[in-house]
Amino acid sequence: MPLDGLNRRNKRDAQKARRPIPTVRRMDFDFDDIPKHWFGNNAFATHVSNGLHLLFPDGERFFVRSVRHYLGQIQDPALRDSVEAFFGQEGSHAREHQRTFEILKSQGLDVDKFLAAYRRFAFEWLEPKFPPSMRLAVTAAAEHFTATFAHGGLTTSDLDDAHPAMRALLLWHAAEEVEHKSVAYDVFMEVDGRYSVRAFGMIAAFLVISGLWTVSALSLMRDDPDVSVARLVKDYRGMEVPGNVGSFRMLGMLVDYLAPGFHPDQLDDYQIARDYLASVGRLEA
Ligand SMILES: [Fe+2]
Ligand SMILES: [Fe+2]
């Protein structure tokens, strides 16, 4: 093997070695008494976050399907163990986020209409149009997307104003997204690895997720009788971290993903996730 290729391979192996096998945790958050505008009484921030609750369960099941398709082709036993843990973690995330649907319904928000349209568009119409390699590339890119948000949630005060139970849900999810952030990427590199497919996966994931997230948040804002456009504008202006600052931060990380030598472990934040999980007594299952 040429030296260049060998160096690349050694670098990749060293990167893989940094990722511990993720831990699957069963959680049962206490969602009683969540106020309607649970993000510091800020309706804009609340519905942007609620929009994510709506996207996660079905989105994470798609991630699992996309990776499971290649399970038989994964040669590296450590990666296979990580993949099994990835399935378990995403299953737990889907379950806990799905529990928030009942809260939103009890607050008078019609989540079923959005969910039905989301499932029809994303998983019945769009998903079959993509070949398996592209679905895996979209998943690897979406995992970078979630890991980017997770890193922000764990390292800034952005979630300080959220209701404690919602904050605990989002930070637990964030920590586990960091724990398994390179799993889908490593599967993609093992079974395909083409740069063009990886880059297309990122562009598709970015467009689909940002589009769906915008629609989910807007549908919740529209359905909320306690929210006016004036209130939304006021709440948006009152946010400590305006959405556009977060978007710029995120855009920078998305550009990183398109670099030819990118690997998720180049940002080594595993200890940050472990520190958070230890602080809430959940480092072990
Ligand atoms: Fe997740
Ligand atoms: Fe994930």
Indicate the range of 70-74, 200-204, 234-238, 256-260 predicted with least confidence.
234-238
**Could you tell me the pLDDT band of residue 279, with boundaries at 50, 70 and 90?**
very high
Answer whether residue 241 shows pLDDT above 70.
Answer: no
Is the model's pLDDT at 249 over the cut of 80?
A: no
Given a cut of 80, whether residue 129 has pLDDT beyond it is yes
- In a domain, residue 95? The reply is yes
Average confidence score pLDDT of the chain: 90
Query: Would you report the helix, strand and coil content of the chain in percent, each value rounded to 5?
Result: 75, 0, 25
CB 104, CB 111: distance < 8 Å:
yes
Distance CA 224, CA 173 (A): 26
pTM for this structure? 0.90
* Residue ranges making up the domain that contains 102: 40-279
Per DSSP, the residues of 60-86 read HHHHHHHHHTTGGG---HHHHHHHHHH
Q: How far is the CA of 239 from the centre of ligand 2 (A)?
A: 27
**Comparing 241 with 148, which gets the higher pLDDT?**
148
pLDDT per residue as tens digits for the range 48-57: 999 999 999 9
Residue 106 C-alpha from the chain's centroid = 25
Report yes or no on 5 lying in a domain: no
Mean pLDDT of 266-274: 93
Mean pLDDT of 10-16: 46
Count of residues making up the chain: 285
* Confidence band of 9 (pLDDT split at 50, 70, 90): very low
Predicted pLDDT at 20: 84
Query: Is 20 a member of any domain?
Result: no
Tokens of 246: 């977060």
Terminal Cα-to-Cα distance of the chain (whole angstroms): 42
Q: Domains in the chain: how many in total? A: 1
Residue 18 lies in a domain: no
The predicted pLDDT at position 173 comes to: 97
Report how far ligand 2's centroid is from the alpha carbon of 181 (Å): 6
Residue recorded with tokens 């163990």: 81
DSSP H helices in 119-242: 132-155, 164-179, 183-191, 195-223, 229-238
Residue 208 included in any domain: yes
- Alpha carbons 123 and 130: distance in angstroms, whole number: 11
Q: What is the pLDDT of residue 233?
A: 92
Ligand 1 centroid, distance to 176 Cα (angstroms): 7
In a domain, residue 22? The reply is no
Mean pLDDT of 191-197: 97
Ligand at minimal distance from the CA of 169 is 1
Calculate how far, in angstroms, residue 146's C-alpha sits from the geometric centre of ligand 2. 6
What's the confidence (pLDDT) of residue 19?
Answer: 75
Mean pLDDT, residues 140-146: 95
Ligand nearest to the CA of 145: 2
pLDDT tier for residue 7 given thresholds of 50, 70 and 90 = very low
Look at residue 111 and tell me if it is in a domain: yes
- Can you give the CATH number for the domain in which 218 is found? 1.10.620
Please report which ligand is nearest the Cα atom of 63.
Answer: 2
Within a domain: residue 69?
A: yes
Cα 60 to ligand 1 centre (Å): 6
Question: Over the stretch 22-49, which tens digit does the pLDDT of each residue have?
Answer: 999 999 899 988 999 999 999 999 999 9
The closest ligand to the CA of 56 turns out to be: 1
pLDDT higher than 90, residue 242:
no
Q: 């519905």: which residue's tokens? A: 47
* CA separation, residue 13 to residues 19, 22, 79, 179 (Å): 10, 17, 11, 17
Q: Is the pLDDT of residue 4 over 50?
A: no
Cα 15 from chain centroid (whole Å): 21
| φ, ψ (nearest 5 deg) of residue 162 | -75, 150
Write out the residues surrounding ion ligand 1, Cβ under 5 A: 60, 90, 93
> Amino acid identity of 21?
I
Give the count of alpha carbons within 13 A of 185, CB side only: 28
**Ligand 1 center to 204 CA (angstroms):** 19
Residue 114: what pLDDT?
96
pLDDT at 158: 87
154-187, pLDDT tens digit by residue?
Answer: 998 889 999 999 999 999 999 999 999 999 999 9
Alpha-carbon span 196 to 180, nearest angstrom: 23
CA of 126 to the centre of ligand 1 (A): 21
Residue 76 confidence class, pLDDT cut points 50, 70, 90: very high
